[in-house]
Structure 1
Amino acid sequence: MIYRSGQRVLVQGITGKQGTFWAQKMMETGTKVVAGVNPKRAGETHLGVPVYGTAVEATKSTPCDVSVIFVPPVLARDAIVDAIDAGIATVVVLTEHIPAQHVLEIHARAKRAGCRIVGPNTAGIVTPGEGFVGIMPGHNPNIFQPGHVGVISRSGSLGTLICLNLTRAKLGQSAFIGIGGDPMIGTTTRDALEALDRDDRTHAIAMVGEIGGTMEEAAAEYAAGMKKPIAAFIAGRSSPPDKKMGHAGAIVTGGKGGYASKREALERAGVKVVDTPHEIALALADVYA
């Protein structure tokens, strides 16, 4: 789930407006986009790479390590299953509002195939200095700079703000992992935390959580045994119970998934929980000092 230089990327939906724009930006930062998929334009060349009718056809000619999905909700299930069937190891699913029954099927098929799903409703993954996959502004040097702080976020906008603050603090990022804001996602906060814990380039971690679900509590269990320092911000502190927020997964019922529960679990694990996003960079700057 951490993008590495040289990994070959397939863009499903490459000829659409968003697919074209972001594929071009990915390529400008060094991301190795090797092919695209659009069943209606198979056989063409777009942005200098071949376009195929399916991911299965694409990988027969061009091996791919990562696929990114620029496909609308009604067609997303078929596109993701196509990528899984093609044997692609990581599928970055940007699409939101995919029907729940389709999401369940996707995760089951991915698990059987040993495929890593990032998302749905993710903003993508970024490794400054190497490339990015998705719709994060990985091409903007004011936001992303190579460094040693790994960033985990459900939210693309909050993740962008954290990365901006880290860059301004001259800390930079080793990797950004956008796990996605849907209720059923393929990569959890704990999964991302474990990946960054194993990553030699990551010396500290910034975690951006939200109310809803229990991912942060599960991550806290793992964080308790880590040596790398972690600073976290939990969005939704003032949200009333049972209030649905911007992400489909950010809904709290009773005491479970609430702000107090998440903060208590993280602080008990030794995580520095801050009150505003700006304080994450300050907290981690103290560690480096």
Structure 2
Amino acid sequence: MIKDLTIVVDGVGRRAAPYGVRLAAMLDATVSAVSVLPLVPFQTFAQSEIRYDLVVAAEQDARAQAAAAVEAVASAAREAGLSCETSAICTSAPHAPQRLAGLVHLSDLAVIEQADGAAPKPTDAYLDTLLFQGARPVLMVPYIQEAPPRLAAAVVAWDGSAPAARALGDALPLLRRMARVELVSVTGEPVPEATRWRAIRHLARHGIEAAFHIVPGRGPVGEALLSHVADRGADLLVMGAFGHSRLREAILGGTSRTILASMTVPVLMSR
């Protein structure tokens, strides 16, 4: 069950909050709004010979922006009849990720807006924190998302890995609400029938009727997945994050990075 949903905001992004609040209303979940706006260490300003009063003013502005960001979520939650807790993290950059991760640990799902390379925002720096330190599933909302949550059809990327298995388990509360669920394997090799049958049987035991589809691996896995999601008109993509080593993903891009850069529907990732 998803009963405790955390929405990470920064006052700049505009998609995570409305999507997260509406999803919480659908799930009858409590909302926790968290904003992270790290403060620049005083030493940095001192080295630049910036006046102390300007440093204080900058910190006050950051705290005010963080407070306003979470209050906007709380207001939307109240309008939806939901309770909402707020936390504004304003501390030096080395400590902000740890505090964010600690808050997310006691949550069922974290919601954050996808990074937009053309318009960077503060929360872009914290996706890795959520995935690698948060220990909870993360739902990324596309920065182009305008429609409210629609839990009608889901595609689950399945490669048999531990992250894929974890993502599948974390997504069960959402998959139970879907009219159509499809497990997808992108591969150049045949997938054993026994493997497909076990995956379908596992979901059936949770009351989820699903189909298994194999996408021929003629190109990059991430592009094949996104194309299939679009073709099927899915509302959600579920997948394990960073299936290869983190270094390999950082250097070569990898499936996770492709999805994160080009997603057009919300993506639930677990690791």
- Relative to the length of structure 2, the TM-score reads 0.41
Higher helix share: 2
Bigger radius of gyration among the two: 2
- Relative to the length of structure 1, the TM-score reads 0.39
Larger relative contact order, structure 1 or 2 (CA cutoff 8 Å, min sep 6): 2
